[in-house]
Each structure stands twice: as structure tokens, then as C-alpha cells.
Structure 1
Amino acid sequence: MDHDMTLEITGSSAADIAASVRALIERGALRPGDALPPVRNLADDLGVNRNTAVAAYRQLTTAGVVVTRGRGGTRVADRSAVAQEGFAADSVLRDVATGNPDPDLIPDPSRALAGMAGRPVLYGEPVVDPGLERWARDWVGDDLAPPEVRLTITSGAADAVERLLAQALVRDDAVALEDPCFLTSIHTVRVGGYRPVPVPVDDEGMTVAGLRAALEQGVRAVVCTPRAQNPTGASLSERRAEELRAVLREHPYVLVIEDDHFSMLSRRPYRSLIGPEHRRWALVRSVSKFLGPDMCLAVTASDPETADRLAMRLTPGTTWVSHLLQRLTLALVTDPDVDAAIAAAGAHYAARNDAFAGRLTELGLPTTAGDGLNLWVALPVPARDVSEQLMRRGWLVRTGDEFVLADAPATHRLRLTVHDLSDADAERLATDLAAAVRAAGGRPAPAGME
């Protein structure tokens, strides 16, 4: 922002200065990303004490109107929408960017619904269905090292993560996020007004050097995907998990949130960042990937204090997740036929992704399938150029740019959801992708030369 704009900010009190900045933003004189004047300059221009200008900026930060970036100064907050998972609206293109499970592999709840009759649940009763709690304890119990575990039921994993961060953080607190990152996590941190600190992800998951650097920057929470990381498909190796736990031993009160979203579908073992001595932690497991996105329910296991705070975050709003939904979830996950169907679905996703990765590799685009619903495809040219070429061929894809946190050049990655393509369509997409790379100026490696 130039000096002339500085003169438009008025006021002699913190409240008046903050109101003046908000008015400039509302009428478009200040736009997202614009820098506000340094505190000292603003105080001098307005003839007020420096502490008054500091208080004004603090009010604006608390309200989420501006964000502070250390040496980057104070800037107008970017409230633009973050890309979301799901089908693209009103597109005539074949959408292979959805991140959705295959609807044909989601168990039919009809039989379970027919047997759900029971007495109504009234105010003041336990918020967690006793049967679901017993099942959930078995589901998470063997995977957790801390000696004391409490369970909370939330309306899905995103709901759990949002409330967990809200009970532990205030605006502008730093949060360590994987980079590239799950779109919903980016959205949650932005809406909450927290400061994302990117931690690079490689084939073994969150990197040790990245986590150490984030902790040195003072992050108060870490959000990690232990397996089937979205978008990369990476899962923590045992060696990497042990190294990350060693780093976290020096920071036992940093809140560690593990989003094990793929859980029952995963082809990889669960390995955790959460050591037995860690004091603030939560493991979140949603049912949405294997029972369907409309089953908005997640089990959150956590330390007792975090559980108490999470419960307090629930009380002003939903208070509890519907016991009808809890009973339906329990009926499904304890049905042997549903259990077998979930296992078959997990095998299907892995096989289809492996097959498509093989097709691309044969066409000179070496690809390895990780775990999860998607493929993370490396390209020899910028992904945006390939995406444009694929649109001309009738395909809608997601570029890696949407998932990246750190300031960097355009990515050379696509995230594809291909598990529901027929063999013929998969072959056509692979061929079109190789052609799109060539049209964008890239050269797929000859077969056998990867």
C-alpha cells in the first residue's frame, strides 16, 4: 500500500483506526493481500501512540480481517474460496478430479436402517451411543500408545479437526500442515485465521527436517495424515514415524492431530507420530470413505484434557451427533457382509490405481501408486499446461498447484481419481495424458528408459 493510502486511514483510538481500515476494505480501497503500513509509520501519520496502532492491528487480526506475516508485515486477509473436493459443477468434461469413493462400493444401508428402531434419546443423556463406544474403543485402542484414551464423536473428520484447533489456538497461531496438503485442511486453517507452516512430504510421509523447522517456528499444532496422504498417497514408514516421535518428545504440549481418513480401506499399516508420553493429541477416524461421504461421523480418540475441551466446543452448537446416525454406523460396521465389502473396496482401489500407474509408466510417464483414492502423477512440464491440453480432449483434472502451501513455481503434478474408470476409459485417459504432455512441450520417456 502506498503512502497516499496511509493517509486515508483515520482515527485517534484503536477502535476508530480499526473501523477505518475495515471501511477501506469494505469499499474495495484495500484488497486481499494488500499491505498495511508498518505500525510506527501509521502511528506517526495519525499522531497517536505506537501502542494505539498496535492495539488497532491486534483487533483487526483477532477479527480475521488482517493477518500478520512477521517480516512480511500485516496484510489484508485473503477470504477467497479454497478449492474443495467433489464433482465440478456444470462441467461437460469427464471429471477425474473428484476425490470421491466409488458409489457402487459404498454399502447399502437399507437392511441396517430397517433394524434401527429404538427408544428416543432425550436431553441430558450420554452423547455417545454405548454400543458404538465399545466398538470404537476396539477400533482405535490397539493403535494408540498413550495410557489414557477418551472418545468423542463428531460430524466427520473436518468437524473434528476444526474444533480441535479452535479449542487449542487463537487467530494467527501457527499450525504445521503437510505440503502438499489436503484441501479441507487448507480451508480449515484459513477460515480459522491460523498461520499455516508447510512441512514437506516425501514417499515416507512428513519429513523430519520439515517438522523440526516448523516446531522451531513455534507451531502450536501439527496436522498429519499417517497413511494414504491426500494428495500424494504417501504413508509413514516405521522408521520415519519413530524419527518424528523423537522430534516431538521435546514438544509434548504441541497438539498433534492425526487424520487417519482412509483407515479401514488402507493397504498400509497404521504408524503414529503420537508417543506414549505426548500430552496433547488426537486420532481422528471418519467413516466417510468406506460408508459414504453422507455418513458424517468420525471417532476422535484423544487425551482427557483435549477430550474435555473438544466436548465444550460441541456444546454451543450441535452438542452431539444424532444417535440415529451413530446406531446406523454401528449396525453397518458390525455386519460381516459390510466388513467384507469394505475389504473388497480397499482391494479394488489399490488394484485400479496400480493398473493405471502401470499404463502411464508404459507410456513414458513413470508413476507409482500410493495408498488412497487418488494418484499423484509427476510430469515433465508444468501441470497447468497439461491440464489445458486435457480439457481440449474432454478431461477435467486437478493440478498440484491447488494443494501446495509453500511459495513455489507451478507444480509438475496432477492428482487423478481414476478408480471408477472402465478399462477402455482408463486406456483413453492414459493415452490422452501422454499426448497432452507432448502438446505442452514435454517428452515422455521411451518405454524401458524411465
Structure 2
Amino acid sequence: MEIVGNSAAAIFESIRGLVQAGHLRAGQELPTVRDLAASLGVNRNTVSSAYKRLVSAGVATTQGRLGTTIRDPMRLGEAEGSRPGCRLMDLAGGNPDPEWLPDIVQVLAQRPQPAALYGAPAVHPELEALAIAWMQGDCPPAFQIDIAGGAVDAVERLLACHLVPGDKVAVENPCFVSSVNTLRVAGLQPAPVGMDGKGMIPAELEAALAQGAQAVILTPRAQNPTGCALGARRAAEIRGVLSRHPNALVIVDDHFAMLATDRYFNVIPANARRWALVRSVSKALGPDLRLAVVASDDHTSSALRLRLTAGTHWVSHLLQQAVIGCLTSPAINARIEGARDRYAERRSLLRRLLQERGIATAASTDGLNVWMPMETDSQPLVLELARHGWLTRGGASFGVPSPCHGVRLTISSLAADDAVRFADDLAAAMKRLAL
């Protein structure tokens, strides 16, 4: 293998050719800028420019002083959900309880819908009115409404509107698994921001933005995996940080809004130039109902609509009609309230059972999961629990860039007697492993 070239373009093409020929493989480290510049007899800036182009093209990834490596475009991390047919009791999937989801076919049957043809508005007017009322007061007052195919789809499209491969994005650490995959596929670099019991640590967010992060993705409540929610004070502190970086794209992923027990506190400053508040219906109405509401500034909305144009990528009006039917149904709204209460009861029960056995969980919790922080690698405990019939998800799924220590436990379908049995098995497993 020999890298050649006396210009940035030539070096770029040489390395890309070696990758395409299989001489450079995913994970293989490239020479340092200094060493390659010396061997080619060129200026370091020339090599640096070539490496930056490789990152932008998705050929390589950089970790700053840790070096530049060839990227595997096909490699993804873990995803939400569990494989069908698993014989273990599933506390790993992150799914809502199917018993609390509405019958979408029945909802649609009650709403006759004329065929939506090319040229129809991308957002159904009735859903737009409902969305405006939902978002009003929770973000800057001047906003536009768009509909995306779920929260993850919305985040991916929003990033594509403003960023280019190689840009840094500030994310929570630990982070939602789909956010990590979204950044990897887009060739973006995660800039991890540490969390405490109150959410993103403002000083670390400030540092990430000062070091060049072009965007931030944050979860205001029911953070996945920790369940953390921003209180009024922490939200104000983060809003202050973001106000000092008005050009950063701010994406607020309020994915659990329909079922949250914690209050929502706005983090988007009045001077933010690029921002979006995303609210999904997946947890309350079902993951297969691929729909999320996006409120954003005029410029971001215009750019987003280029990727949601009617005739190419708009969200099906059948799905929009289903959501309208659910949001306007007293019976389904009562069902959502019931699910909210049931999830809160199951979270509280599991936390209490673990506490009685001396097992600590995250202090603040909302959502479908309970987070159990650990001081050591969680994988031995995950394997030990699997041997005793429990499927759980360890910190390897959520760390940015390296695995974090902890176990996420999905409580949505966990009955009371199973919760007692799991708490006993977990305590016994930790004792066997001397944790």
C-alpha cells in the first residue's frame, strides 16, 4: 500500500482508490498528517486538507489527536427493539406496551378520506391546527409546522438541512442509540456532553460549542436511556449557553411528550437562528405510526420542506388522518392518560423494589425505562441476567464514543409479580458477580 500525490486532491483520490480496491479497510488508521507530509514531501496543510475532504466524503473519520481512520459506511450500532421470538423476558426493547396502543384501522374506518393526489398540501390542515396548538408556548413564537416520518427521521432531515459530513454535533452522553446511528450514517462527528441527574451539563455543552460543534441534539424529558428531565433552572442554564452560540442548530427531541409526567421547559433562546422542536406520536400511538410534528424557524422549515415535498417524500395523509382521529378522540385520549399512569406506576415500583435491595437507579426518571448506573462494565451482568431468563440492554449501546457503565430496563410491559422476581434475580446476580 502506498499513498501518493503532491496536492490535496491527488492525496484524496489516492486514499479513496486504496479504500475502493480493498487495500485500506474499515478501522485502519491513516498515517499522521506530519508523517504523510514528510514522506510525500508536501506541506502539512496539504495533507490536512486531503484528510478533511476524506471525512466530508464519508471515507474516513477523525478523532482529533487520536488520529484519522477509515470509516465503515455499512456499520451501524444497535437499534431499539428486540428480535422477535426471543424466549427471554424482554426488558431491553424500549417499546410501549401493545395493550395501551389504539386500533389504528378502527380509527381510520371512522374517518372517510378522499384520495390525496400530487399537489396536495404536505401537511393536512386539521393536523396543522392541532400541531400549532400543541407547540404554542413551548418554543419561540414565530414557527412553522412540518410533518416528518417519526422523530429519528425528523432529526436526520434537520441535520441534512444545515450540516455537511465532518461537522460536529453535541449530543448527550449517554445517548439514544438511534441518534448515534444517525450521525454515523451522515458522516457527522458526535461531540459528547456529559450528564448529571439534572440533564446536560451546561459547562460541557459550552465547551463542545466553543470547540466547533455546529448543532446540538438534546432531550428535554424522558431522556433515553437515563429517563432524566430538565428542570426549570437547568433549562434556563442551557438556554443561556445556547444564546451565546446563536448560529448553532438546536434540535429538541421531545419524543415522549404525549406520555410525559415531567413538565416541559424550553431551552431554545430567542436569538437562535436555526432551531426545531420535534414531538413524536410513536410511544403513545405505536412505533409503526411513523409520524412526528416539527416546529421550526422559517428558514429551517423551508429547507426541511425541500426534503418533504408533496409528490416525493411527504408523510402519507392516511397516517396523518390516523393521528388526527386519535388526537380528537376522547376515548383514545383517556387511553393515553391511562398508559401514562400505568408507566409511571411501573417505573416507581421497579425503582422501589431495587432500592429495597440496595440497588441504585437514576434519581430522575420518566419514559419507558429505568436506568441503573454502574461503576464497571455492564456486559457481565447483562449476560448473567440472560442466563436466568432476562433480556436487558447494557451501556455499550449508549456511550459516546465509548461504552458507558449502566443497564437500561424497559418497564412498559413489566407486571408487578415479574418486577419482584426480576429484582430478586438482579440482586442475586450482582452478588454472584461481586458488584
**TM superposition score normalised by structure 2:** 0.93
Q: Is the 8 A contact 1:290 1:342 kept in 2?
A: yes
Shift of 1:261: 0.4
Partner of 2:238: 244
- 1 CA distance for matches of 2:332 and 2:85? 34
Q: Is the 8 A contact 1:93 1:391 kept in 2?
A: yes
Shift of 1:55: 4.8
- 1 CA distance for matches of 2:20 and 2:84? 29
Indicate the SS of the match to 1:136: helix
Partner of 1:218: 212
Partner of 1:96: 91
- 1 CA distance for matches of 2:324 and 2:410? 29
Pick one of 320, 323, 328 that aligns with 2:322. Answer: 328
Partner of 2:383: 388
Partner of 1:447: none
Asked if residue 106 in structure 1 is aligned to residue 101 in structure 2, the reply is yes
Asked if residue 264 in structure 1 is aligned to residue 258 in structure 2, the reply is yes
Indicate the SS of the match to 2:213: coil
Partner of 2:58: 64
Residue type matched to 1:301 in 2? A
- 2 CA distance for matches of 1:302 and 1:281? 6
Indicate the SS of the match to 1:284: strand
C-alpha RMSD of matched pairs (Å): 2.1
Asked if residue 129 in structure 1 is aligned to residue 128 in structure 2, the reply is no
- 1 CA distance for matches of 2:10 and 2:376? 51
Residue type matched to 2:409 in 1? L
How many equivalent residue pairs?
Answer: 433
Pick one of 71, 75, 79 that aligns with 1:84. Answer: 79
Query: What percentage of aligned pairs have identical amino acids?
Result: 49
CA distance change for structure 1 residues 116 and 412 in 2, over 3 Å: closer, same or farther? same
> Where do 1:54-203 residues align within 5 Å?
54-79=48-73, 80-88=75-83, 91-144=86-139, 146-203=140-197
Shift of 1:17: 3.7
Residue type matched to 1:136 in 2? A
Indicate the SS of the match to 1:265: coil
- 2 CA distance for matches of 1:67 and 1:212? 23
Partner of 2:373: 378
Asked if residue 431 in structure 1 is aligned to residue 424 in structure 2, the reply is yes
Residue type matched to 2:417 in 1? A
Q: Is the 8 A contact 2:5 2:40 kept in 1?
A: yes
Shift of 1:90: 5.5
Shift of 1:147: 2.8
Shift of 1:377: 1.1
> Where do 1:278-357 residues align within 5 Å?
278-315=272-309, 318-357=312-351
Q: Is the 8 A contact 1:198 1:406 kept in 2?
A: yes
Residue type matched to 1:370 in 2? T
Asked if residue 414 in structure 1 is aligned to residue 378 in structure 2, the reply is no
Indicate the SS of the match to 2:307: helix
- 1 CA distance for matches of 2:48 and 2:226? 41
Q: Deviations over 1:146-168 (max 9, x none)?
A: 23110111111111100111111
Shift of 1:406: 4.4
Shift of 1:140: 0.7
Q: Is the 8 A contact 1:354 1:369 kept in 2?
A: no
CA distance change for structure 1 residues 246 and 14 in 2, over 3 Å: closer, same or farther? closer
- 1 CA distance for matches of 2:296 and 2:275? 6
Partner of 2:358: 364
Shift of 1:34: 2.5
- 2 CA distance for matches of 1:201 and 1:110? 41
Q: Is the 8 A contact 1:263 1:285 kept in 2?
A: yes
- 1 CA distance for matches of 2:158 and 2:49? 28
CA distance change for structure 1 residues 253 and 49 in 2, over 3 Å: closer, same or farther? closer
- 2 CA distance for matches of 1:325 and 1:254? 32
**TM superposition score normalised by structure 1:** 0.91
> Mind listing any 5+ residue stretches in structure 2 that lack a counterpart?
none
Asked if residue 228 in structure 1 is aligned to residue 222 in structure 2, the reply is yes
Asked if residue 35 in structure 1 is aligned to residue 37 in structure 2, the reply is no
Shift of 1:272: 1.5
Q: Is the 8 A contact 1:262 1:372 kept in 2?
A: yes
Q: Is the 8 A contact 1:86 1:99 kept in 2?
A: yes
Partner of 2:3: 9
Shift of 1:50: 5.6
CA distance change for structure 1 residues 36 and 382 in 2, over 3 Å: closer, same or farther? closer
CA distance change for structure 1 residues 266 and 31 in 2, over 3 Å: closer, same or farther? same
Indicate the SS of the match to 2:258: helix
Q: Deviations over 1:298-329 (max 9, x none)?
A: 10000101101111233498431111111111
Q: Is the 8 A contact 1:397 1:415 kept in 2?
A: yes
- 2 CA distance for matches of 1:351 and 1:88? 27
CA distance change for structure 1 residues 14 and 124 in 2, over 3 Å: closer, same or farther? same
Indicate the SS of the match to 2:234: helix
Indicate the SS of the match to 1:314: coil
Residue type matched to 1:390 in 2? L
Residue type matched to 1:359 in 2? L
CA distance change for structure 1 residues 388 and 30 in 2, over 3 Å: closer, same or farther? same
CA distance change for structure 1 residues 432 and 26 in 2, over 3 Å: closer, same or farther? farther
Partner of 1:448: none
Shift of 1:194: 0.9
- 2 CA distance for matches of 1:29 and 1:436? 46
